[in-house]
Amino acid sequence: MQDAARILQLVINGSAAGCIYGLVALGFVLIYKATEMVNFAQGDIMMLGGFAAYTFIATLGMNYWLGALLAIGATALFGYLLDVLILRRVIGQPQFQVVMLTLGLGFIFRAAAGIGWGYDSIAFVTPFTNKVVRAGGLVLGQDNLSIIAGTLVLCGVLYVFFSRTRLGIAMQASSQNQLAAYYMGIPVRSVFSMIWAISAGVAAVAGILLSPVSMIDVNMGGIGIKAFAAAVLGGFGSIPGALVGGIIVGVVEQLSGYYLPPGTQDVTSNVVLLAVLVLRPQGLFGQTIRKRV
Amino acid sequence: MSAILNTEALLKVSNIETFYGPIQAIRGVSLEVHPGQIVTVLGANGAGKTTILKTISGVMDPERGQVNFDGHDIQRMSPDKVMRRGICHSPEGREVFPFLSVHENLVMGAYSRHDRDEVAQDMEMCYGYFPRLKERQHQRAGQMSGGEQQMLAISRALMGRPKLLLLDEPSLGLSPILVTQIFDIVRRINRERGVAILLVEQNAHIALKTADYGYIIEVGRIVLEDTCARLMDKDDIKEFYLGQKDEGVRGRRRWKRKKLWR
């Protein structure tokens, strides 16, 4: 009984970490589906979102919810401008150029954040910090639960947006067939910039949700690598796949951290990734469709 | 100046030259489409037919020449702006949105419009032309057969309420029966809705029967133009485009005949 409760607790905590990976992975996937670019600065955009929230909430003393909302908006605007000013120019260039550019942007963001906010780990007070919920034999941090709940809400909102609204469907259409979207009168370039805005906003949500668990610092974007593994695991290009992939990576990490020798935790996500790629090269949710002639 | 001279033509393409990198695909093409007319451009593979349509709809920019639509120069305009002026393009190879449903594909066709009621009416009109689409309205477009996708591509272009419809090879990959059906409906759309159509085809037979006026294009140049009735009577067209074999004077077919326009 004790064991079952412990496993459940590990799974829940792992899912919370996994939701963060999933949200960052979601950002990778949205941008990749639309523009076929892989944005390696995604984790660093999350970091910027965290710092923006810190500025609004801790420095300017705003209410948590208002500050979080403003931080998400500001990061989304940042993503939009990033595309308009820089990344739009490399669409259609070889993948390697895009990788180098986004990696470089990541370095710049980290340096800029270090100059602006300093290199120390910082935190702001959230309504979920240091509170626990006891249910049965379980002791769960509200911070972890808030991550799971926040992710679910965000996914619901995004699902409704992408499947029900005209702009959302137009984003899907532009991702599926750019040329045809142009023929329909969809302003594809600005639609892509809005997709950048959404994925930056999602990254900011991840940064804000993560901040009570692990503090905000310049190098928190490093989880982008694990999120990348999650995105590939889910079948790069699938939105539910990104989230499920993230949760799998998170849970496996937690369990291996508890049951396996120390040091294995950091490699398990990649072991799982390799195993999935061997057994199912298109990833768990890979979408493939052949064009009929 | 040109606006005064060409009050009649809905679309007037003058001397466009379009390149793929260093390769010139179109070498000075001029053509006109008048309101309510079906005009066809015929030619072999690689003659430059699709490139003409792409240049009109703004996907490719001409190095030289003008595209005038409804009194405005539209060359080098971005494709979404061209579409908003009233040119809808049903591209070669269908290009439907594979993971969207039939219904959503049609909604996207009307993306630039904000008159909800009329969009709903137009959607019923499309389902009227192609009842198969209504049966499949919730199916993903990518899972449909080639013929159904072609119906969808034409309907999706119609949803934009075009003044001019560009149809690129609607017969591509379809069975002969389906080709006849689709061209019947193309003609109906033209008559009932008064939409001008610029039709690009390899299937010269059906294109000449459908259209009012035709242009023959070879390696990026227009070599012949006339009404379709007269084009069908020309010996060269019969032999090289319609595949009719006349017995020559000496009792057998001439294999190395020179075309008259060369």
DSSP state string for chain B? -HHHHTSS-SEEEEEEEEEETTEEEEEEEEEEE-TT-EEEEE--TTSSHHHHHHHHHTSS--SEEEEEETTEE-TT--HHHHHHTTEEEE-TT----TTSBHHHHHHHHTTT---HHHHHHHHHHHHHH-HHHHHTTTSBGGGS-HHHHHHHHHHHHHTT--SEEEEE-TTTT--HHHHHHHHHHHHHHHHHH--EEEEEES-HHHHHHH-SEEEEEETTEEEEEEEHHHHHH-HHHHHHTS------TTSS--SSPPPTT-
CA atoms within 13 A on the CB side of A290: 4
Q: Is the pLDDT of residue A115 over 70?
A: yes
- Residue B5: per-residue pLDDT: 41
pLDDT for position A195: 96
Q: Which of A173, A179, A187 sits opposite B108 (nearest CB)?
A: A173
Please check whether residue B151 touches A, CB under 8 A.
no
> Is B172 within 8 Å of chain A by CB?
yes
Q: What are the boundaries of each domain within chain B?
A: 1-86+163-169+196-262
C-alpha span between B72 and B136 (Å, rounded): 39
pLDDT (0 to 100) of residue A27 = 94
pLDDT at A116 over 50: yes
User: What band does A135 get if pLDDT is binned at 50, 70 and 90?
Assistant: confident
| Residue-wise pLDDT tens digits, A140-164 | 889 999 999 999 999 999 999 999 9
CB contact under 8 A, B100 and A181: no
| Closest residue, chain A, to B114 (C-alpha) | A166
Q: Are B201 and B40 in contact (CB under 8 A)?
A: yes
Q: Which pLDDT belongs to residue A1?
A: 53
Q: How many domains does chain A have?
A: 1
B149 touches A at CB < 8 Å: yes
Task: Indicate whether A228 belongs to any domain.
Answer: no
Q: Which CATH architecture has domain B1-86+163-169+196-262?
A: 3-Layer(aba) Sandwich (3.40)
Q: What is the pLDDT of residue B247?
A: 56
Whether residue A291 has pLDDT greater than 80: no
State both tokens at A131.
């509170």
Contacts of B98 in chain A (CB under 8 A): 176-177, 289, 291
Distance between A182 CA and the closest CA of chain B, angstroms: 5
Residue A44 lies in a domain: yes
Q: What is the DSSP string of A5-37?
A: HHHHHHHHHHHHHHHHHHHHHHHHHHHHHHHS-
pLDDT of res. A136: 76
Query: A181 — contact with chain B (CB < 8 Å)?
Result: yes
Cβ distance B108 to A186 less than 8 Å, yes or no, reads yes
Distance of residue A34 Cα from the nearest chain B Cα, in angstroms: 13
Q: What is the pLDDT of residue B58?
A: 94
Q: Does residue B101 belong to the interface with chain A, where contact is any CB pair within 8 Å? A: no
Is the Cβ of A287 closer than 8 Å to some Cβ of chain B?
A: yes
Please report residues of A whose CB lies closer than 8 A to that of B97. Answer: 172-173, 176-177, 180-181
B109 in contact with chain A, both atoms CB, cutoff 8 A: yes
Residue A182 and residue B80: Cβ atoms within 8 Å? yes
Of A91-100, A164-173, B166-175, give the lowest mean pLDDT range: A91-100
Neighbour count for residue B93 (Cβ, 10 Å): 18
Say if B99 is an interface residue toward chain A (CB within 8 Å): yes
Residue A168 maps to a domain: yes
Which chain A residue is nearest to residue B172, measuring alpha carbons? A293
A285 in any annotated domain: no
C-alpha–C-alpha distance, residues B221 and A128, integer Å: 72
Question: What 8-state DSSP symbol labels residue A57?
Answer: I
B contact test, residue of A162, A176, A184 with most B CBs within 10 A: A184
Asked if the Cβ–Cβ distance from A292 to B112 is below 8 Å, we say no
Rg (CA), chain B: 19
Test A293 with B107 for CB contact under 8 angstroms.
Answer: no
Residuewise pLDDT in 10s, chain B (262 residues): 333 444 579 999 999 999 999 999 999 999 999 999 999 999 988 889 999 999 999 999 999 999 999 999 999 999 999 999 999 999 999 999 999 999 999 999 999 999 999 999 999 999 999 999 999 999 999 999 999 999 999 999 999 999 999 999 999 889 999 999 999 999 999 999 999 999 999 999 999 999 999 999 999 999 999 999 999 998 888 888 887 765 555 555 555 556 666 5
Interchain contact A77–B (C-beta under 8 A):
no
Q: Which residues of A touch B173 (CB under 8 A)?
A: 292-293
In 10 A of CB B72, how many CB atoms?
A: 10
Looking at the domain assignment, is residue A245 inside a domain? no
Q: Does A184 touch chain B (CB under 8 A)?
A: yes
Q: What is the ipTM of this complex?
A: 0.87
pLDDT for position B260: 65
Give the pLDDT of residue A214: 87
B85: contact with A, CB 8 A cutoff: no
Rounded to the nearest angstrom, the minimum Cα separation between A154 and chain B is 22
Mean pLDDT of chain B: 90
Pick from B144, B157, B207, B199: which is nearest to B180 by CA?
B207
Q: Which of B97, B113, B119 to mutate to test the interface with A (most CBs of A within 10 A)?
A: B97
**3-state class (DSSP) for residue A115:** helix
Percent of chain A clearing pLDDT 70 (strictly above): 97
CA distances A241 to A26, A42, A133, A234, A245, Å, are 9, 17, 30, 4, 6
- Whether the CB of A176 is below 8 Å from some CB of chain B: the reply is yes
pLDDT at A251 over 90: yes
Most A-contacting residue of B50, B57, B80 (CB-CB within 10 A), to test interface: B80
